Structure 1
Amino acid sequence: MNILVTGAGGQLGRDVVRVLRAHHEVKGYTRAQWDVTDEAITWKIMTITRPDVVVHCAAYTDVDRSQTDTVEAHRVNGRATRQLASACGILGARLVYISTDYVFDGTKKDGYTELDRPRPINVYGRTKRLGERWVQRCCPRHMILRTSWLYGTHGRNFVSAILSKAKEGGPLHVVNDQRGCPTYTGHLAQMIDRLIHLQAQGIFHTAHTGSCTWYQLAAAILQHAGYTDIDLHPISTASLGRPAPRPAVSVLHSERIPKLGLPLMPDWREGLAAYFRDRQEGEEA
C-alpha cells in the first residue's frame, strides 16, 4: 500500500516509517516537510500522492505547555486533524490517528477499555479527544489508537531523561501516585502494522500490558542500565506543582484487539527490555 506518515521526525513516527517500509511503500514527512496546520499544504500533498493510508503521528504533545498555549494545542491537535480527516474522507484514504490515555480522567481504579467514556481533565487531553471526534466525523475509514507513556530510542522522553539524570549521579525524585502503561514505540509501530494489514476500523487501546507508576518505571530503567547506586525517591504529583492536572490512573486495557485474533502487546517490562536491546544495537551500528 501507499502510506503517508505525518510527524515522521518524532520518536513514534520514525519507528512507524521503519516498520511499515518492510511491507509497504512509505513516505514519511517531518514537521519541516509537512506542516499539518497548513491546510493548503495538506491538500496539496494528499491530492498529489493519493495515499491508501495516512498514519497521523504529528501532534502537540507538551502536556503542561498546553495549559497556557491553548490556541496552538487546539490548532495542531484539533483543527489540523479535522483538515487531514476531511481530506482522507474525500479522497477515500484510511486514517490512523494516534491518541492518548489522557482522554480519561483517571478515576477508574482498574483502568479503561475502548468502551469507557472519555473525560479529559487537561487541555492536552481535551484537544486530543477533539481530534478523535473530528476523525470519527470526517473520515469513515479510520482507526483511533489510544496509547500511553510513549518512549523510543529517538528523541527525548522519560526513559532518556532518567538515564541522563542518572549519568549525572542523581539523586532522583519521581512521582509515585500516577499509574499507567509505559509503551515502547518500536512495539507500537509493529501493532500499527498488524492493524493496517487487517484493515481494522474503530477505536483500539494499543499500550503495553501491565502497569506501573513513574517511580516504578524509573527503578526498572536504572536496573536495566546498571545504575545500582543512584538514590531514587518517590514523591507526589502535588509536590511538583505542574500546570496541567494528570489522571491518577490512565491504564489502558483492550477488549477489541483480541477479537481481531491478534495478541495483546507484551508486558511493559518486555517493552523496556526491547528498548535497551535496540538502543544498544543502534549505538553499535
Structure 2
Amino acid sequence: MKVLVTGYTGQLGHDVVREGKLRGINMIGIGREDLDIANEVEVYQYVQKTNPDVIIHCAAYTAVDKAEDDKETCWNVNVLGTKYIAKAAKKVNTKLMYISTDYVFDGKGEEPFKEADKPDPVGYYGLTKYEGEKIVTDLLEEHFIVRISWVFGINGHNFIKTMLRLSKTRDELNVVGDQYGSPTYTFDLARLLVDMIQTEKYGVYHASNEGFCTWAEFASEIFQQANKDVTVNSISTEEYPTRAVRPKNSRLSKQKLIDNGFEPLPKWQDALQHYLNELAQEVN
C-alpha cells in the first residue's frame, strides 16, 4: 500500500507518516514546500506521478483568528486545495481521507454533536472546512471525513507547549473555562486513521480522545501532571475576546467509530501523560 499524506509538517501529518512507516506502509509525506495544493495542475501531476492507493489530506489553513482577515488564503488552501486533491483522487481512482474539525458546528447546547448533525459554522475557518467536506462528498462516493478537535502532537505548536512555556515565568494564569471539548493526541489519532484507511468503512466520523473538559481544566491537568505549581483561574469566553468566535460546545459523539468496530482512543488524561513522556524524551 502506498499512502500520500498532505500536511506532513504539521502535528497530525507527521504522526500519520510515522505510524504508517512503523507498520511497513509506503508513506509519502509532503508539505507546502513540496506541493502547492492550491495549484490544480501541480496537484494532478503530483498525484498522477505518485499514484497512491490512499490520500490522507491533513493539510489545512488552521490559523483560526487570522482566517477572519486573510480569507483569500484560507479559502484557497481549505476549499480549492481540497477540491483539487479530491478531483485528482477521483481521476486516479484513489481512496481519500479528509481531515475536518469541530469548528464546522455552531458550538451551541451541551450535547455531543453526532456525525449526522448538520454543520453550521460560526467562523470563516469552520466555513471553509465545511465547504471542503461538501466537495469531498459531492466528488467521491468512497471517502472518509474525520472531524477532530483540540489537537496536540510532538511536531508543532499546541496548547500544552504554550502552557508549559508560560509556567516558566508565571505562577498564575487565566484560562477560558466555558468552552468544552476533547483534547486529542495525534499519536493516538494517527493509529486510528491508519487502521481506518485499510478498510472500506467509508463515511463521516468523529475522532478524539475519550472524555470532555474545558480549557481551564485541561490546563490544570497539564500543570498537575508536569509538576508545575501554577494556579489556573477559570474565566469566561467574554473575558478573553478573540478575533474569531470559538465554539463553546466542541463535544463530539464518537458513536460511529464504535458502530464500525474501531477502538475508541484512550482517555485524554492518559493521552496527556503519554505526550508529556514523549516531550521529556525529546528534550533528553
Tell me how far apart the structure 2 counterparts of residues 225 and 81 of structure 1 sit (CA, whole Å): 38
Q: What is residue 223 of structure 1 aligned with on the other side?
A: 224
Q: What is residue 71 of structure 1 aligned with on the other side?
A: 72
Asked if structure 2 preserves the Cα contact closer than 8 Å seen for 1:89 and 1:140, the reply is no
Deviations 1:27-65 (A, max 9, x none): 101111112112222111101011100111100001111
Are residues 1:169 and 2:170 paired? Answer: yes
TM-score by length of 1: 0.96
Q: Offset of 1:137 from its aligned partner?
A: 1.0
Q: What is residue 273 of structure 1 aligned with on the other side?
A: 273
Q: Offset of 1:141 from its aligned partner?
A: 2.0
**Structure 1 gap segments, 5+ residues each:** none
Tell me how far apart the structure 2 counterparts of residues 215 and 156 of structure 1 sit (CA, whole Å): 18
Q: Greater CA deviation, 56-65 or 167-176?
A: 167-176
Asked if structure 2 preserves the Cα contact closer than 8 Å seen for 1:183 and 1:268, the reply is yes
**Letter paired with 2:84:** Q
Q: What is residue 115 of structure 1 aligned with on the other side?
A: 116
Tell me how far apart the structure 2 counterparts of residues 200 and 166 of structure 1 sit (CA, whole Å): 43
Q: What is residue 83 of structure 2 aligned with on the other side?
A: 82
Q: What is residue 34 of structure 1 aligned with on the other side?
A: 35
Asked if structure 2 preserves the Cα contact closer than 8 Å seen for 1:10 and 1:155, the reply is yes
Asked if structure 2 preserves the Cα contact closer than 8 Å seen for 1:111 and 1:252, the reply is yes
Q: What is residue 152 of structure 1 aligned with on the other side?
A: 153
Say which SS state the counterpart of residue 76 (structure 2) adopts.
helix
Tell me how far apart the structure 2 counterparts of residues 21 and 257 of structure 1 sit (CA, whole Å): 24
Tell me how far apart the structure 2 counterparts of residues 178 and 126 of structure 1 sit (CA, whole Å): 19
**Letter paired with 1:266:** P
Say which SS state the counterpart of residue 257 (structure 1) adopts.
helix
Q: Offset of 1:22 from its aligned partner?
A: 2.3
**Letter paired with 2:204:** I
Are residues 1:17 and 2:31 paired? Answer: no
Deviations 1:128-171 (A, max 9, x none): 00000111111222100000000111211111000000012342
Tell me how far apart the structure 1 counterparts of residues 66 and 44 of structure 2 sit (CA, whole Å): 29
Percent of aligned pairs with the same amino acid = 37
Tell me how far apart the structure 2 counterparts of residues 108 and 85 of structure 1 sit (CA, whole Å): 33
Q: Offset of 1:194 from its aligned partner?
A: 1.1
Structure 1 segments (4+ residues) deviating >4 Å: none
Say which SS state the counterpart of residue 74 (structure 1) adopts.
helix
**Letter paired with 1:5:** V
Tell me how far apart the structure 2 counterparts of residues 43 and 251 of structure 1 sit (CA, whole Å): 36
Q: Offset of 1:108 from its aligned partner?
A: 2.8
Asked if structure 1 preserves the Cα contact closer than 8 Å seen for 2:192 and 2:262, the reply is no
* Matched positions, count: 283
**Letter paired with 1:41:** E
Tell me how far apart the structure 2 counterparts of residues 165 and 12 of structure 1 sit (CA, whole Å): 24
Tell me how far apart the structure 2 counterparts of residues 47 and 197 of structure 1 sit (CA, whole Å): 21
Q: What is residue 103 of structure 2 aligned with on the other side?
A: 102
TM-score by length of 2: 0.97
Q: What is residue 3 of structure 1 aligned with on the other side?
A: 3
- RMSD of aligned alpha carbons: 1.1
Q: What is residue 233 of structure 2 aligned with on the other side?
A: 233
**Letter paired with 1:233:** N
Tell me how far apart the structure 2 counterparts of residues 232 and 107 of structure 1 sit (CA, whole Å): 25
Q: What is residue 55 of structure 1 aligned with on the other side?
A: 56
Q: Offset of 1:241 from its aligned partner?
A: 1.8
Tell me how far apart the structure 1 counterparts of residues 283 and 3 of structure 2 sit (CA, whole Å): 29
**Structure 2 gap segments, 5+ residues each:** none
Q: Offset of 1:127 from its aligned partner?
A: 0.4
Tell me how far apart the structure 2 counterparts of residues 153 and 36 of structure 1 sit (CA, whole Å): 24
Say which SS state the counterpart of residue 167 (structure 1) adopts.
coil
Q: Offset of 1:187 from its aligned partner?
A: 0.5
Q: What is residue 128 of structure 2 aligned with on the other side?
A: 127
